[in-house]
A and B are shown apart, each in its own frame.
Chain A
Amino acid sequence: MSDFSRREFMKRSAAAGVAGGVALTGFGKSAGASDIPQVGTMIDLTRCDGCKTLDVPACVSACREENRERFPEPIKDIPNYWPHKKKEDWSKKKGLTSRLTPYNWTFVQKADVEHNGKRYALNIPRRCMHCDNPPCANVCPFSVQYKTPEGPVVIDRDLCFGGAKCRDVCPWGIPARQAGVGIYLKIAPQLAGGGVMYKCDLCYSRVKAGREPACVEACPRNAIIFGEKEKMRALAHKRASEINGYIYGERENGGTSTFYVSPAPFEKIHAELMKQKTVQPNPNVPGFPGMPVDVENFTETANGIAWSMIVAPVAGIAAAAGAAYKTMKGGEKDD
């Protein structure tokens, strides 16, 4: 080994480096192509009045009607989440429209806020924001939730296990769980899984067919505008500058496809919603989201660490080459 030459070392280093690099290669961007550009919505809070003449806002009724056939039909004897003596069962509260549930994928919150000496009685349609980099889809343990090329974030209800991690990492806790339904019943219902997660998919089948989501179509005051995402963003900016207002959803969670425009700052709206949440029948149960301003994306911290996965291996290769050269030059056999 001691007659081992520098040229030979370089040759072997290159060969070993290529072999080692194999572990880091082999992936490329492969998002599905679509003829439809990314879509989004602009929700003008100066226009929405919560359909004050109706018992249930038109957008909520339209959503429920549109998705009725997709609502969960759980088994009769739903098992508890062993070892806990509880389960999430909304099947006896199908008519509830004042929060998000597996049977109600959008609802309208009310917030009375004061700003610059004026009081605003705001009505805020709430549902999935359809984030640009959705943590719910990114961290799903079985990758059965995904962002479509057109923008809506969709859950595959046939394969969802109902672990509710998507809800835990969503800054708004949007997905709602129904127990006693889904694939977990066929595997180990007593031990793992919790049902299926349900949420707005922006009427994805309608979007793909070139139609508007049901809530948009039903809104009598054009408070929810649907269209190409970048146009919705521009529209939100235009409207915000007209009313000297504020935009929500553009930066939050790293960016979303939903742009709210309000005459009052969202910090105040969020504070009011959080106050209301404390007096909900069960304040700790998700389904009554706030509007935290500039809320960070769950994967942000991990993405910062991702760079170490490029730097550290390079250090590993360099150290290995150094160690190999040293031991071979010294004639040391690593036996």
Chain B
Amino acid sequence: MTKVAVKKKIKRHGLSVIFVHWAVAISTFVLIFSGFGQMPLYKRYMVDHLPLLSWVTNYSVTLSIHYWAAAVLISAILYHVVFHGIRRDFDMVPRSGDMKESAQIIMAVFGYGKEPENDKYLAEQRLAYAFIGFSLLLLVLTGSIKVVKNLSHVNFSEGFMFWITQLHNAGTILIIIGIVVHLGAFIIKENWPLLPGIFTGKVDLEYARRRHSIWYNRVRGKKR
């Protein structure tokens, strides 16, 4: 009988974090898809000819989906802010020196220099969080104004709405860049052990000890 070595795990995320991550991820993908549906692109490029996608050129349907997904996104963002605000969990908030540290991590991945000791999140993860967070807040704020503008008897000035719309469109480009960079980070093999964490909440204990030593030692210290 062969013994299978079971790798020890350490808890990295609670249910709230996993819930918020996936609520934000799924609603953001739906928002991007339905948002592009608000432009006359799908008809021109015949996306509606693809199987099961005949509805994508119906502006009313894509707008309704956009609104529902926005409600989910706003709920998840507020859940995140309130949950971590009350708990004072600010592990993902960027710190001074994160830019330099990010550069060191990237260089180390390619074999130049030594990677610095990391806390629960890598410096580049904290920066990515700030970038994606900013993009989402920009989209929520400008999108909320667009929703109010669509109500009867509400009429904002021409210049105001023009710039709100341009900011909303710019926010869309920023969030797409953020997602591409976020997912692109997993091309690097060194980051693969982080993946199970966002599904199960746990990561490999040995990986945590080796790469996230500051966090690992803090958690172990508390447990003793």
Contact = CB atoms under 8 A, between A and B. Distances in A.
Interface string A25-40: 0110111100000000
B96 interface: no
A165 interface: yes
Contact of B82 (A13, A83, A84, A299): A13
A303 B161 contact: no
Interface residues of B, number: 68
Interface in A73-118: 81, 83-84
B200 to A, nearest CB: 15
B145 interface: yes
Contacts of A305: 64, 67-68, 71
Interface of B: 11-17, 38-41, 44-46, 59-60, 63-64, 66-68, 70-72, 74-89, 120, 137, 140-141, 144-145, 147-158, 160-162, 164-166, 169, 215, 219, 222
Given A20-B77, A20-B81, A306-B67, A165 B14 contact: no
A309 B81 contact: no
A317 B85 contact: no
A309 B70 contact: yes
Given A23-B78, A316-B79, A335-B120, A12 B64 contact: no
Nearest to B222: A333
Contacts of A321: 82-83, 86
Interface of B is mostly: helix
A302 interface: yes
A305 to B, nearest CB: 4
B64 A316 contact: no
A20 B82 contact: yes
B79 A327 contact: no
Nearest to B157: A32
The 6 closest A-B pairs by CB, nearest first: A16-B85, A316-B75, A143-B165, A320-B82, A334-B14, A324-B86
23 contacts: A16-B82, A20-B77, A23-B78, A23-B141, A32-B157, A133-B150, A139-B63, A165-B39, A192-B44, A297-B152, A301-B60, A302-B150, A305-B64, A306-B147, A309-B147, A313-B78, A317-B79, A323-B79, A323-B83, A324-B87, A327-B14, A328-B86, A328-B87
B67 A302 contact: yes
